[in-house]
């Protein structure tokens, strides 16, 4: 089996220590987590982990099975990139003088469909949502001008098909 990128969605109660135990499952198998995001889910009082890994389907099935054994975990799913809609977010902090002195900066912002979040005397901040490749491309375009700070979020995603988590939770009521 060949390695592929998988997005694992984990629905769980929000308990201390769960993130540590989940990351330990990957550590034991020597599988690197490419991206991790934890947030509230569409279900009240239920958190959702989005974990991106590059491994075989056999390994991801095994990992999902191990994650589901955690007491706080309600349900875990995995999807390929083709089965999800996903984005990342990034912020770029750049010297303010460049915004006005370098016409190309304004063109890069416009062409990349980025948004200027704030402008101050010393710097301005640009926000970009998109695929990792789009953010990396924008990074390379800004790099010659000097990036003061850069940060990128983990992947956020939704599955193309209906996830049966809501139905599952209804059955517990």
At residue 99, the 3 state secondary structure works out as helix
Neighbours of 94 (CB within 10 A): 22
CATH for 85-150, options being 3.30.50.10, 1.10.486.10, 3.40.50.10480, 3.30.70.1150: 3.30.70.1150
The mean pLDDT of 137-159, rounded to a whole number, is 94
In this predicted structure, the answer to whether residue 173 has a pLDDT above a threshold of 60 is no
In this predicted structure, the answer to whether residue 167 has a pLDDT above a threshold of 80 is no
Which residues, in sequence order, are CB contacts of 11 under 8 Å at separation 6+? 41, 43, 46, 47, 48, 73, 74, 75, 76, 165
The CATH 3.30.70.260 domain(s) of the chain lie at 2-81
User: Do the Cβ atoms of 47 and 83 come closer than 8 Å?
Assistant: no
The vertex-44 CA angle with 16 and 15, nearest 5°, equals: 5
The CATH 3.30.70.1150 domain(s) of the chain lie at 85-150
Question: pLDDT tier at 8 (50, 70, 90 boundaries)?
Answer: very high
Determine what percent of the chain is predicted with pLDDT higher than 90.
75
Pick the more confident residue, 164 or 150.
150
Best CA proximity match to 49, nearest among 5, 17, 84, 7 = 7
Give me 94's structure tokens.
């750049």
CATH for 2-81, options being 3.30.70.260, 3.40.50.11030, 3.30.365.10, 3.40.50.1820: 3.30.70.260
Query: Beta strands of the chain (E only): which ranges?
Result: 4-12, 33-40, 47-55, 73-80, 84-95, 115-119, 123-130, 147-152, 156-159
């Amino acid at each position: 089996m060949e390695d592929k990128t998988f997005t694992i969605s984990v629905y769980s109660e929000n308990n201390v220590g769960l993130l540590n135990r989940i990351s330990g499952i990957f550590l034991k198998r020597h599988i690197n987590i490419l991206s991790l995001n934890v947030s509230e889910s569409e279900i009240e009082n239920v958190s959702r982990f989005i974990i991106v890994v590059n491994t075989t389907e056999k390994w991801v099935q095994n990992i999902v099975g191990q994650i589901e054994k955690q007491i706080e975990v309600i349900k875990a799913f995995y999807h390929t990139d083709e089965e999800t809609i996903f984005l990342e977010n990034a912020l770029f902090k750049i010297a303010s003088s460049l915004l006005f002195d370098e016409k190309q900066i304004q063109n890069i912002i416009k062409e990349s469909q980025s948004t200027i979040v704030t402008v101050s005397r010393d710097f301005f901040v640009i926000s970009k949502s998109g695929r990792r490749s789009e953010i990396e491309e924008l990074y390379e375009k800004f790099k010659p001008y000097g990036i003061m700070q850069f940060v990128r979020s983990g992947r956020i995603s939704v599955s193309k098909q209906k996830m049966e988590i809501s139905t599952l939770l209804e059955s517990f009521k």
